[in-house]
C-alpha cells in the first residue's frame, strides 16, 4: 500500500515538474511485450519514462536501473524495487561463488522470459553530448534472443535540464518522451549495423 501511495505522489511530482508528455509518434500505447530503448542523459530518465507511460503499461513495464547507484541507499533501493519494480544491472563484471563471470544481461533475460516489457538505455551509461553515444551490444543480443518482443525507439527530451550534473534539487522544465516506429533485426543484419540503425532511429525522434 505504501509503495502504491508513493507511486501516485511521485507521479504527481514528476508531472508537475516536467509535464511528462508522451508523444506516440510511430506506435500507439499498447499492452504488448516491448523493449523501449532510449537516450540516456540523467539519473531520472527511468522516472520520466515510467511517468510518461499510461498506467496500464506502467504495471507491465520494468525500467533498468544501475545497481551501484540505485541501491546506494535504503530509500533508493526501496523506491526502485517497490515502486518501479526495476531490474538491477551490475555495471561491473562480478563473479559467482564458483568464480564464473556473471552475464549482466541475465536479469533482463529473466524479465523478458517472464513476459515483462522493459525500458533500456543502450548507451550503458549517461552521456552529455547532444546525441547518444554508440549503443552497446545488449540491445542486439536481447532482440535476437527474443524476436517476438516489439522494439520501440524512444527519445527523452530536456530531462538533463531538470537535474543538471552536480545539482540535488530538480528544476521545473517541460519534458517529453517521443515513442517512434517499432523496428526489428533484419535477416542477416550484423550487430554493429543494427545498433547503428537503432541509434539513428532514436536520434530521428529528437526534432519531432
Q: What is the pLDDT of residue 179?
A: 96
User: Inter-axis angle of helices 138-145 and 106-113, to 10 degrees?
Assistant: 30
| Rounded distance between C-alpha atoms, residue 137 and residue 103, angstroms | 12
CA–CA distance from 19 to each of 77, 118, 134, 138 (Å)? 25, 22, 29, 31
* pLDDT given for residue 66 in this prediction: 85
- Predicted structure pTM score: 0.86
pLDDT at 109: 96
Locate cell 562480478: which residue? 94
pLDDT in tens, the chain (208 residues): 787 888 877 777 777 766 678 899 989 999 999 999 999 877 778 888 888 899 899 989 999 888 888 899 999 899 889 888 999 988 766 655 565 667 889 999 999 999 999 999 999 877 677 788 999 999 999 999 999 999 999 998 875 554 555 555 454 456 789 999 999 999 999 999 999 999 999 999 988 8
For residue 7 the three cell numbers come to 507511486
Which pLDDT belongs to residue 207? 83
Phi-psi region of 158 (alpha: psi -120 to 50; beta: other; left: phi over 0): left
Give the up-direction half-sphere exposure of residue 171: CA atoms within 13 A in the CB hemisphere.
11
Q: What integer pLDDT is reported at residue 204 of this predicted model? A: 95
- Of 74, 46, 49, 199, nearest to 132 (Cα)? 199
| pLDDT for the residue 87 | 94
DSSP state at residue 89: E
Go through the chain and tell me how many residues it has: 208
Amino acid at each position: 500500500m505504501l509503495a502504491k501511495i508513493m507511486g501516485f505522489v511521485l507521479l504527481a511530482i514528476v508531472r508537475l515538474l516536467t509535464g511528462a508528455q508522451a508523444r506516440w509518434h510511430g506506435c500507439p500505447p499498447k499492452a504488448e511485450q516491448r523493449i523501449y530503448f532510449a537516450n540516456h542523459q540523467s539519473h531520472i530518465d527511468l522516472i520520466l519514462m515510467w511517468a510518461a507511460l499510461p498506467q496500464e503499461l506502467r504495471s507491465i513495464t520494468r525500467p533498468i536501473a544501475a545497481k551501484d547507484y540505485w541501491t546506494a541507499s535504503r530509500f533508493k533501493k526501496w523506491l526502485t524495487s517497490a515502486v518501479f519494480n526495476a531490474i538491477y544491472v551490475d555495471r561491473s563484471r562480478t563473479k559467482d561463488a564458483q568464480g564464473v563471470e556473471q552475464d549482466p544481461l541475465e536479469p533482463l533475460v529473466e524479465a523478458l522470459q517472464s513476459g515483462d516489457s522493459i525500458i533500456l538505455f543502450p548507451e550503458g551509461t549517461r552521456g552529455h553530448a547532444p546525441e547518444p553515444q554508440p549503443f552497446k551490444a545488449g540491445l542486439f543480443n536481447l532482440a535476437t534472443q527474443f524476436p517476438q518482443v516489439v522494439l520501440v525507439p524512444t527519445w527523452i527530451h530536456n530531462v538533463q535540464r531538470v537535474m543538471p550534473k552536480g545539482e540535488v534539487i530538480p528544476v521545473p522544465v517541460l519534458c517529453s518522451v517521443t515513442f517512434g516506429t517499432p523496428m526489428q533485426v533484419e535477416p542477416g543484419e550484423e550487430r554493429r549495423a543494427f545498433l547503428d540503425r537503432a541509434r539513428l532511429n532514436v536520434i530521428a525522434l529528437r526534432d519531432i
